[in-house]
Structure 1
Amino acid sequence: MTTGQNTVGDVFSAGAEEFHRWSPTLWDPVGEATAGVAALAAGESVLDACCGAGASALPAARAVGPAGRVDAVDLADGLLAIGERRAREEGLANIRFQRHEVTSWPVPGDGYDVVQCALGVFFFPDMDRDSAALTRMLRPGGRFVVTVWEKGALGGWQSALREAVLTERDLPDRPQREQLARIDTADTLAAWLTDLGGSEPRVVRRRFDAPLTPKTGWVLAIGSGTRGMLAGLSPAAVERVRAEFSARLTAGAVTDLDVRVLVGTARFSG
């Protein structure tokens, strides 16, 4: 779920194992929802952009079967290695994990039947420009599938983490937060897909139960993009942030991650 800046890929690579500990209860359900809305058929070709550890790429590979193919592309080496391991364990021979800038990935033949990107487009340096580049990788009539956090999702966990970090440092505005805010409702996501040139936009809402404790909440904090909020802090400062974060989760009785996503899809004529 990383994108076009090496620094973003490095952040996710550094926390790859912590990231993967959340795969069963967070990333994999979101990935399954993404591939489900994509409505993949046997024999189709898929580009999974910002693939991470394969949460949406692996179910895509199962859906398209031996006659299909999935190219899973990311910049986070640590996550790609986990994805490759998972594919081997499942015996999936129709998927390849590649480290590459997704917006300049070489398109095979006439393009992909589906380009999907789960929780990645808002990390792009320019969400509109870079997402448009992905749509141009589709064959005429192909589907672009995007999963984003719904407005308010992860609220209790995210607020506790931000407030804890602010006890040690100022936090600059994060471009990805601003970009996500443009597409975090069903209406705005559908309108954005239309503005990109898509037709027949459809948005599906999914919600998952994800129990949360201070311990698992911290694993997520250092195993996702929020790890970057801690960059440059001393080990002692990071430990103070962890303790403050845990205290805030406990005081706020935050025991659920509040996982809500929107999966949008549209067709592109090429």
Structure 2
Amino acid sequence: MEQQLEEIREQQKASWNKFSPGWKKWDDLMMDFLQPMGDEIIKLLRLKETDNVLDIAAGTGEPGLTIAKIVTNGKVVITDLSDDMLEIARENALLKGIKNIETQACDVCELPFEDNTFDAISCRFGFMFFPDMLLAAKEMQRVLKPGGRIATSVWNGPEKNFWVTASMGTINSNMELPPPPPGSPGMFRCAKDNFIVELFQQAGFTNVSQREVAGRLKCNTTDVYWNMMTEVAAPFVAALSKADDAMKEKIRREVYQLVNEKYPDGNVQIDSSALVIYGEKG
């Protein structure tokens, strides 16, 4: 792996390990928020109870744990770059009495599995962060059995995801942050229409399709929104760490104002939009 990709991978691993306590704290809220995309992935995969499934970039365990309840005579291998996140996934499996899973910390660009191993692959909100997306897609294609199915989700554009832009837009308007290099990992890196469709086709997948799926972040209050974002959103926290106390307070006030203006009744339920992409191994 090129040194630059290796550096990105190590930075990401450190970041996800660092933020794993926040993800554990907000797991119920975040999993409710992301469930519609996971449900769509599961629907598209048309799972059989004997399937062996690979869930990539699974974080705290979803949608892999839900899939494990469907493939009762199969198995789900839940993977992530961060073992600290997978520790939460293992705890969640234990709490739910799910036994037909195993976890493995690994890099998607170097999957430690034999060719033609899995019947299906799920990957909810991973591609935006993979250093080399085409290599990742080719690795997924390699470990799928012929006829195997893959489904992934990525975030739609910023204009449809106020839950991101309320915070990051405010930071960007207040701080002179250097723009990331073109094509570098980020929330909206895959938002262009048919971006992942074309990537899948390039990696050799067939019958590729894309559909939009809506979600809703049910914060209920602006306090919950702010506290959650400052404990799970790595780019947000990284940017805030470069601000002095006065600037942090100014950003906080402006974010509150933005959210309160959008939800004047005080019931903060933020709509979101994602793209779910499906493909098959010929």
- Give TM class, smaller chain: 0.7 to 0.9
Query: Aligned AA for 2:104?
Result: Q
Tell me whether 1:243 sits opposite 2:261 in the alignment: no
Shift of 1:53: 0.6
In 2: Cα distance, 1:26 partner to 1:18 partner: 15
CA 1:154–1:256: 2 relative to 1, 3 Å: farther
- Tell me, yes or no, if the aligned pair for 2:109 and 2:135 is still in contact at 8 Å: no
Name the counterpart of 1:214. 222
- Render the CA deviation track for 1:240-266: whole Å, top value 9, x for unaligned: 433332223223448432222222111
Structure 1: any 5+ residue segments left out of the alignment? Answer: none
Query: Aligned AA for 1:261?
Result: A
In 2: Cα distance, 1:16 partner to 1:144 partner: 26
- Render the CA deviation track for 1:207-266: whole Å, top value 9, x for unaligned: 123334322322135313434543643672545433332223223448432222222111
Structure 2: any 5+ residue segments left out of the alignment? Answer: 1-7
Name the counterpart of 1:202. 209
Shift of 1:68: 0.7
In 2: Cα distance, 1:8 partner to 1:241 partner: 25
Name the counterpart of 2:45. 38
Name the counterpart of 1:223. 232
Residues 1-270 of structure 1 aligned to structure 2 (within 5 Å): 5-20=9-24, 21=26, 22-65=29-72, 67-108=73-114, 110-152=116-158, 155-166=161-172, 167-173=174-180, 175-177=184-186, 180-181=189-190, 183-185=191-193, 187-212=194-219, 213-218=221-226, 219-227=228-236, 229-230=238-239, 232-233=241-242, 236=245, 237-253=247-263, 255-269=268-282
Shift of 1:178: 8.5
- Render the CA deviation track for 1:172-198: whole Å, top value 9, x for unaligned: 2262349734x543x444333222211
Residues 145-154 or 53-62, more deviating: 145-154
Poorly superposed stretches of 4+, deviation over 6 Å: none
CA 1:16–1:256: 2 relative to 1, 3 Å: same
Structure-1-length-normalised TM-score: 0.84
Percent identity of paired positions between Structure 1 and Structure 2: 20
- Tell me, yes or no, if the aligned pair for 2:150 and 2:278 is still in contact at 8 Å: yes
CA 1:87–1:48: 2 relative to 1, 3 Å: same
CA 1:211–1:49: 2 relative to 1, 3 Å: same
The DSSP-based 3-state class of the residue aligned with 2:217 is coil
The DSSP-based 3-state class of the residue aligned with 2:270 is coil
In 2: Cα distance, 1:116 partner to 1:178 partner: 18
Structure-2-length-normalised TM-score: 0.81
Query: Aligned AA for 2:218?
Result: P
- Render the CA deviation track for 1:2-25: whole Å, top value 9, x for unaligned: xx7122232233222433413342
RMSD across aligned positions (CA): 2.6
In 1: Cα distance, 2:275 partner to 2:85 partner: 23
- Tell me, yes or no, if the aligned pair for 1:12 and 1:223 is still in contact at 8 Å: no
- Render the CA deviation track for 1:79-127: whole Å, top value 9, x for unaligned: 2121111101111111112222222222147411112211001211121
CA 1:40–1:228: 2 relative to 1, 3 Å: farther
CA 1:26–1:55: 2 relative to 1, 3 Å: same
- Tell me, yes or no, if the aligned pair for 1:19 and 1:220 is still in contact at 8 Å: no
The DSSP-based 3-state class of the residue aligned with 2:257 is helix
